Amino acid sequence: MNIVVAGGSGFLGTALTQALTHEGHTLVILTRGSPSALPARQGVQYVSWDPNGLTGPWSRTLDTADAVINLAGESIAAKRWSADQKRKLRESRLLATESLTRAIREAARAPSVFVSGSAVGYYGDRGDETLTESSPPGTDFLAGLARDWEAAAAEAANVTRVAVIRTGIVLDRKGGALPRMLPPFQMFVGGPLGSGAQYMPWIHKEDWVRLVSWTTTHEAARGPLNATSPNPVTNAEFSKALGRALGRPSFLPAPAFALRLALGEMADALLLSGQRALPVRATDLGFSFRYSTIDDALASIL
Ligand SMILES: NC(=O)c1ccc[n+]([C@@H]2O[C@H](COP(=O)([O-])OP(=O)(O)OC[C@H]3O[C@@H](n4cnc5c(N)ncnc54)[C@H](OP(=O)(O)O)[C@@H]3O)[C@@H](O)[C@H]2O)c1
């Protein structure tokens, strides 16, 4: 297939595009940067774009695309959430998605699928409530952002199949949240964050890549899909599993007030709240996870 991936240069995009080229697909990666600054890869063409809500010369790449995947957006955890940063988090996702849906609607031949990013933040902070794709959204900043992001993607639904991937916490040795969690454990001072009761909807990076790749070809996969393992754990359980995997203690809690002091609003949204989200849609449609327990996932990663 010819696949266009927006934001394909990032943590998840790099892993996904490597797997897709390995499977024999031909890729176009849309990047805001200069194509020559990115590493040359067989089967990958980089094309510059300006994700400003409008189409541009880059849109022609969609005329021959079989699938379009949207992973573009300002990094959620890179900076403290000032009002300006929150605006960037929202606009970068909404405008990029709007540019893509416009280009899809105007393409000479519409792609057969548009797979667009979303996040389990859609559900907000929900304690130990079991969450499926049909659960209603939350009310906080990330929930509002995810809801609007999904609505922007749905603008392409009258011309193509639209699937939105509600990604959980993607676990990998080199990128995402896990490398940031390791240092306290490695220094023998690891433990739960805050009360540790919040659920962590984790997923192994390999399963995330497999799920997104599967979604591109699986006709019945449309609408929201939780990209989370079938066995989410509480943060306290995760800390214990991490301690076991590293052979380190895991009983020293990081107090909520210290996290809030260090990270501001982001601490509550990303570390102290949680979602017990289950991948009901994908499982019902026959997708099987390679890593379904946290011990197996951490053993493979660490
Ligand atoms: N990693 C996770 O655990 C996780 C969890 C839930 C949801 N997600 C979502 O999944 C998507 C991919 O995640 P990731 O971890 O791969 O993110 P990432 O490493 O930050 O990559 C995102 C890509 O988006 C592009 N981008 C960055 N800032 C942008 C902006 N202001 N406007 C438009 N494009 C911009 C960049 O590509 P160029 O510089 O080449 O343009 C970048 O490579 C994100 O939308 C993220 O919110 C990730």
- What pLDDT sits at residue 275? 98
| 93 Cα–ligand 1 center, Å | 9
> For position 100, what pLDDT does the model report?
98
From the CA of 92, give the closest atom in ligand 1: 32
5, pLDDT greater than 90: yes
Spatial neighbors of 186 by CB under 8 A, at least 6 apart, are: 246, 248
Give 18-76 pLDDT, tens digit per residue.
Answer: 999 999 999 999 999 999 999 899 999 999 999 999 999 999 999 999 999 999 999 99
| pLDDT of amino acid 42 | 93
What local confidence, expressed as pLDDT, does residue 196 receive? Answer: 96
Tokens standing for residue 123: 């559900």
Min mean pLDDT across 2-6, 135-139, 151-155, 248-252 is at 248-252
Cα 62 to Cα 55: distance, rounded to the nearest angstrom = 11
Cβ(32) to ligand 1 under 6 A?
Answer: yes
For the CA of 72, the closest atom of ligand 1 is 24
Q: What is the mean pLDDT of residues 209-227?
A: 98
**pLDDT, averaged across the chain:** 96
Atom from ligand 1 closest to the CA of residue 49? 41
pLDDT over 70, % of the chain = 100
Is it the case that residue 215 has pLDDT exceeding 90?
yes
Note whether 111 and 104 are within 8 A (CB).
Answer: yes
Cβ neighbours, 10 Å, residue 81: 20
Ligand 1 proximity of 9 Cβ (cutoff 6 Å): yes
Tell whether ligand 1 has an atom less than 6 A from the beta carbon of residue 35: no
Buried b or exposed e, range 108-146, using 16+ CB within 10 angstroms: eebbebbbbbbbbbbbbbbeeeebebebeebebbbbbbb
Residue 262: what pLDDT?
86
Q: How far is the CA of 291 from the centre of ligand 1 (A)?
A: 24
CB 249 within 8 A of CB 295: no
- Which of 47, 76, 89 for a ligand 1 pocket mutation test, highest count of atoms within 8 Å of Cβ? 76
What separation in Å is there between the alpha carbon of 196 and the centre of ligand 1? 27
Structure token pair of residue 24: 């024999």
Pocket test for ligand 1, best of 11, 70, 87, 174 (most atoms within 8 A of CB): 11
**Banded model confidence at residue 3, pLDDT cuts 50, 70, 90:** very high
Find out whether the beta carbon of 72 lies less than 6 Å from any atom of ligand 1. yes
247 CA from centroid of ligand 1 (Å): 32
Confidence band (pLDDT; 50, 70, 90) for 136? very high
How much distance in Å is there from the Cα of 238 to the middle of ligand 1?
A: 25
Cβ–ligand 1 contact at 33 (below 6 Å): yes
51 lines ligand 1 (CB under 6 A): yes
Residue 190 beta carbon below 6 angstroms from any ligand 1 atom: no
Closest to 253 (Cα-Cα) out of 245, 243, 263, 244: 243
Question: 181 — alpha (psi -120 to 50), left (phi > 0) or beta?
Answer: alpha
Taking only the tens place, the pLDDT of each residue in 60-99 is: 999 999 999 999 999 999 899 999 999 999 999 999 999 9
Span from the CA of 24 to the centroid of ligand 1 (angstroms): 24
**Dist CA 47 CA 55 (whole Å):** 13
Q: What is the mean pLDDT of residues 264-293?
A: 95
